[in-house]
């Protein structure tokens, strides 16, 4: 079963996949299409890496990732990009502790379900940066 939990969930955006014996969490983003294993609880019951990779690939399918993003946005109303910065050169989100030249603070972040795009308001820029997913 793959689930985007909508009650009492927390950042970063993630989905739960599991059985009665284990629960794996996979991270997803609103600014790139990568999927990454976050953790498996309890670790002693972790399935083999082949199973986890198959699950990652299922979540990564465009239709599944789209649903995950839509459910997360509708329930949480956050992209979990508060207190982050945008690296203009690499086109990626960076944590403030990784202070680099060419980054600018993210003032706000919205997900447009209709256009399937993320809109970042960056400090010092009048128009939002739109990321088509």
Tell me how far apart the 2 most distant CA atoms of the chain are, in Å.
Answer: 50
Same domain, 72 and 9: yes
Per residue in 75-97, pLDDT (tens digit) is 999 999 988 999 988 999 998 77
Kindly state whether residues 12 and 43 are assigned to the same domain: yes
* Overall pTM > 0.95: no
**What total of structural domains would you count in the chain?**
2
Distance CA 94, CA 106 (A): 10
Predicted pLDDT at 83: 86
Give the residue among 107, 104, 105, 129 at the shortest CA–CA distance from 118.
Answer: 129
The model's pLDDT over 49-64, given as tens digits with 9 standing for 90+, comes to: 999 999 999 999 999 9
Q: In the chain, what percentage of residues exceed pLDDT 70?
A: 92
Instruction: Tell me the C-alpha to C-alpha distance, in Å, between residue 55 and each of 27, 52, 74.
Output: 12, 5, 24
| 67 & 7 share domain | yes
Q: Compute the distance between CA of residue 119 and CA of residue 83 in angstroms, rounded to an integer.
A: 16
What does residue 114 show for φ and ψ, rounded to 5 degrees?
Answer: -65, -45
Cβ neighbours around 77 below 10 Å, total:
9
Are 70 and 121 in the same domain? no
pLDDT in tens, 106-115: 999 999 999 9
In sequence order, the β-bridge partners of residue 93 are 86
Q: Are residues 15 and 69 in the same domain?
A: yes
Do the beta carbons of residue 129 and residue 122 sit within 8 Å? yes
Taking residues 4-28, what's their average pLDDT? Answer: 87
Q: Is the pLDDT of residue 47 over 90?
A: yes
**48 and 100 part of one domain:** no
């Amino acid at each position: 079963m793959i689930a985007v939990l909508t009650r009492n969930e927390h950042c970063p955006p993630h989905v739960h996949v599991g059985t009665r014996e284990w629960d794996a969490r996979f991270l997803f983003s609103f600014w790139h299409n990568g999927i990454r294993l976050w953790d498996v609880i309890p670790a002693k019951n972790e399935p083999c890496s082949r199973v986890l990779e198959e699950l990652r690939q299922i979540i990564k399918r465009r239709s599944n990732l789209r649903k995950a993003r839509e459910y997360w946005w509708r329930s949480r109303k956050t992209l979990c990009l508060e207190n982050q910065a945008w690296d203009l050169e690499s086109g990626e989100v960076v944590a403030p502790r990784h202070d680099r030249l060419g980054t600018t603070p993210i003032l706000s972040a919205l997900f447009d379900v209709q256009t399937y795009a993320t809109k970042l308001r960056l400090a010092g820029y009048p128009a939002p940066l739109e990321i088509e997913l």
